[in-house]
Amino acid sequence: MATSSPIETAKLNRGVRRPWWSHIEQRLILGALPLQNKNHLDLLVQGEGVKAIVTMNQPVELLPNLLSTPVAPAEWENAQIAQCFGSTGDFTPPTLDTIERCVSFVHEQVDVQQNTTYVHCKAGRGRSTVVVVAFLVQYRDMKLEEAFEFVKSKRPHVSLHPKQRHILHKFSEKYSSAAGASPTSTST
């Protein structure tokens, strides 16, 4: 069976709607940038019970544009949602310090406070996936590959850039006694 080119794959997937967010665990949600014009604030807070959010976007990505209006940090604050910012450029890895800080926040919210937590970047595929995979490695005793495959089973369109895979491997070496192989995934 011949493999499809990226263009053919894109044509096949056109019109296929991906979920805006996916439940990874009972109190851990991985997703895309919440939009004000899609009522995501209410859907996440009232519908999903979100009480904390990790934002992996750069500040410029949170500004309104011609197509959408992201939920602003002030709106999350007004809704009394705990926030953690891990400002990272698209298709780049967060620093090890940023990953550690965000993972610690997720642990505090999910495991200690028992709060549903939403971790996002722009598309919910790369930067935010790094944080969720790292959390699973550190706090769920998963090997790196096992954690990545677990996330992928819940959100099939996650995709890590090679540099993101590399920083996850470094994180795994530091926090896991059973560091697995680097996740394998094609980046887009």
CATH of the domain at 164: 3.90.190.10
Q: Which of 108, 110, 84 has the alpha carbon at shortest distance from 98?
A: 84
Is there a domain that residue 137 lies in?
Answer: yes
pLDDT band at 117 (very low <50, low <70, confident <90, very high): very high
Q: Give domain status of residue 135, yes or no.
A: yes
Tens digits of residue pLDDT in 70-113: 999 999 999 999 999 999 999 899 999 999 999 999 999 999 99
Domain count, the chain: 1
57 contacts 144 by C-beta, under 8 angstroms: no
Above 90 in pLDDT, residue 10?
no
**pLDDT score of 185:** 45
Domain presence at residue 8: no
What pLDDT score does 181 carry? 46
Q: Is 63 helix (H, G, I), strand (E, B) or coil?
A: coil
Structure confidence at residue 17 as a pLDDT band (50, 70, 90): confident
Q: Which residues constitute the domain of residue 169? A: 19-175
Domain membership flag for residue 61? yes
Asked if the structure places residue 35 within a domain, the reply is yes
Identity of the residue numbered 36: Q
Residues 19-48: pLDDT tens digits? 999 999 999 999 999 999 999 999 999 999
| The predicted structure's pLDDT at residue 177 | 59
102 is catalytic: no
Give the pLDDT band of residue 178 (cuts 50, 70, 90). very low
Each residue's pLDDT tens digit, 51-70:
999 999 999 999 999 999 99
Whether 171 and 93 have beta carbons less than 8 Å apart is answered as no
Residue predicted with more confidence, 135 or 14: 135
Of residues 28, 56, 121, 133, which has the active-site annotation? 121
Q: Is residue 6 part of a domain?
A: no
Q: Is residue 130 part of a domain?
A: yes
Q: 14 falls in which pLDDT band (50, 70, 90)?
A: low
In a domain, 4, yes or no: no
Percentage above 70 pLDDT, the chain: 85
Q: What strands, in cross-sheet order, belong to the sheet with 82-85? A: 21-25, 28-31, 116-120, 50-55, 82-85
